[in-house]
Amino acid sequence: MINVCHNCGQYRADKIIDPKGPFAICPVCQHPHSFRQLPLFIVCGPSGAGKSTVCERLVGKVAEVVVLDADILWRPEFNKPDDHYRDFFEAWLRLGKNIGQSGRPLMLFNAGAIPDNIEPCIERRYYGEIYYLALICDDEVLVKRLKQRPGWRQSQDEGFIAKQIEFNRWFRESSGKAAPKITMLDTTDGPISRTVEQVATWIREKV
């Protein structure tokens, strides 16, 4: 576990990163711990844009990364929008950096994994580049997809749909101003297989 110092035994997520190693340096005893500082791949975007389907179809298709849907760790206590879901994303970044020590970076699918929620995290320091890709689509298509979902997903509520349309428009209008930049991929037209291939190509270009 990188957060536990191998010398003094203190648990510190706020280690000082020396890129020359790279080393994670304990702020208590200054012990340097060598580690792999890999990139992180994030696919975000509104519900209904195709993230879950693409994630499912990429598993086993791209050997370069470990593909995971962030919802597998979601719990009600993480639902804290006022602090940008900080505990949730810190947990994922901590898990991802440990996955990376085996030699493959994490590719994480999550609607709200945007720079404003990821970049301020303490655990972000353990990564190299973080690449963001947003799946979007036309509003009418988004609404149709959400209404066609099974009832247990609770996607037919008009309030929920309105929020996803707003989020979809935010990506179109504001993502270019985000830091780091969010790459956009429109899933309105064409088969899902094409979107999967486009995402796989995006990964391979970055790796």
Same domain, residue pair 29 and 108: no
Q: What is the mean pLDDT of residues 21-29?
A: 98
47: domain range?
Answer: 36-206
Structurally, the chain folds into a number of domains equal to 2
Q: What is the mean pLDDT of residues 14-25?
A: 97
What is the rounded distance in angstroms from the CA atom of residue 29 to the CA atom of residue 63?
38
Cβ atoms of 19 and 125 closer than 8 Å: no
Same domain, residue pair 19 and 57: no
Q: Report the 10 Å Cβ neighbour count for 190.
A: 10
**Does the pLDDT value for residue 153 go beyond 90?**
no
Q: Which is more confidently placed, 129 or 153?
A: 129
Same domain, residue pair 112 and 50: yes
- pLDDT band, very low/low/confident/very high, at 161 (cuts 50, 70, 90): very high
- List phi, psi (to 5°) of 61: -95, -30
Same domain, residue pair 30 and 122: no
Q: What is the mean pLDDT of residues 74-103?
A: 97
Q: What is the mean pLDDT of residues 41-49?
A: 97
Same domain, residue pair 41 and 28: no
- pLDDT band, very low/low/confident/very high, at 76 (cuts 50, 70, 90): very high
Distance of CA 85 to the CA centre of its chain: 13
Give pLDDT, residue 205: 95
Cβ atoms of 24 and 114 closer than 8 Å: no
Same domain, residue pair 57 and 129: yes
Cβ atoms of 93 and 124 closer than 8 Å: yes
What pTM value is reported for the model? 0.94
Give pLDDT, residue 155: 85
The two structure tokens encoding residue 22: 């790279």
Give pLDDT, residue 152: 80
**Does the pLDDT value for residue 42 go beyond 90?**
yes
CATH code for the domain of 51: 3.40.50.300
Q: Report the 10 Å Cβ neighbour count for 154.
A: 9
Tokens 């699918």 appear where?
109
Give pLDDT, residue 12: 97
Same domain, residue pair 107 and 201: yes
Cβ atoms of 136 and 171 closer than 8 Å: yes
